[in-house]
């Protein structure tokens, strides 16, 4: 087994241990000592891979969801990507609510923002190419920031609030709004 594979498997082990602990207690009450005990590894191993529990939590979300979304062809499969994210949120609601209870809406939004920014940037680039537009990078960056913030807020509302739309309805709304509004925003740029 290569070092990269061993390192990845160790990180997955830490993520599994963190998830187990998050089902029992608040993220802010989990210690590195508990994680290494549950994973049956030493403390140095944890610090070799992660700087903090928050770093592990972010890696876990990126590994389980964000990297998967990036593998979709967002020019064709953005609807499938949205449904994947919604399924992930539904299947991991306990740990996401645990994190929400510990770090709050703004803290969780910071976790999601960079990843959503990257995904929306890819989507915007794909739509721009498909439509044959050529908008300035600063405008596309502005759009990515706006959509990343909005999506992060909507996602947090989805799993932290039982009164929000159903998964299917929210997925349909996001799919429709993202494609049509990004297309219109890029197309309307020339009139600004």
User: 3-class DSSP state for residue 74?
Assistant: coil
Helix residue ranges, H only, the chain: 3-22, 32-39, 43-49, 53-61, 67-71, 78-91, 93-131, 137-160, 167-188
Q: Tell me, yes or no, if the pTM score tops 0.85.
A: no
Print pLDDT tens along the chain (192 aa): 788 999 999 999 999 999 999 999 988 999 999 999 999 999 999 999 999 999 999 999 989 988 888 888 877 787 888 888 888 888 998 898 888 888 888 888 887 888 889 889 999 999 999 889 999 999 999 999 999 999 999 888 887 876 677 888 888 898 889 889 999 999 988 655
Its sign, for the CA torsion 87, 118, 53, 152, is: negative
Helix (H) or strand (E) holding 1: none
Q: Which residue has the tokens 């964000």?
A: 66
What CATH number does the domain located at 52-191 have?
Answer: 1.10.357.10
Cα diameter, the chain: 61
CA 137 – CA 117 distance, rounded (Å): 14
């Amino acid at each position: 087994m290569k070092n990269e594979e061993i390192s990845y498997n160790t990180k997955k082990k830490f993520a599994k241990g963190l998830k187990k602990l998050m089902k029992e207690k608040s993220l802010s009450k989990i210690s590195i000592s508990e994680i290494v005990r549950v994973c049956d590894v030493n403390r140095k191993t944890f610090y070799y891979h992660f700087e903090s529990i928050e770093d592990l939590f972010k890696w876990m979300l990126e590994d389980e969801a964000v990297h998967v979304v990036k593998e979709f062809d967002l020019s064709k499969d953005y609807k499938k990507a949205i449904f994947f994210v919604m399924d992930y949120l539904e299947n991991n609601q306990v740990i996401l609510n645990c994190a929400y209870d510990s770090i709050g809406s703004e803290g969780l939004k910071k976790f999601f923002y960079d990843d959503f920014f990257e995904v929306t940037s890819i989507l915007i680039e794909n739509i721009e190419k498909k439509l044959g537009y050529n908008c300035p990078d600063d405008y596309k960056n502005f759009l990515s920031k706006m959509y990343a913030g909005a999506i992060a807020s909507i996602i947090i509302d989805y799993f932290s609030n039982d009164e929000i739309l159903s998964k299917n309805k929210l997925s349909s709304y996001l799919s429709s709004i993202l494609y049509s509004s990004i297309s219109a925003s890029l197309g309307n740029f020339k009139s600004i």
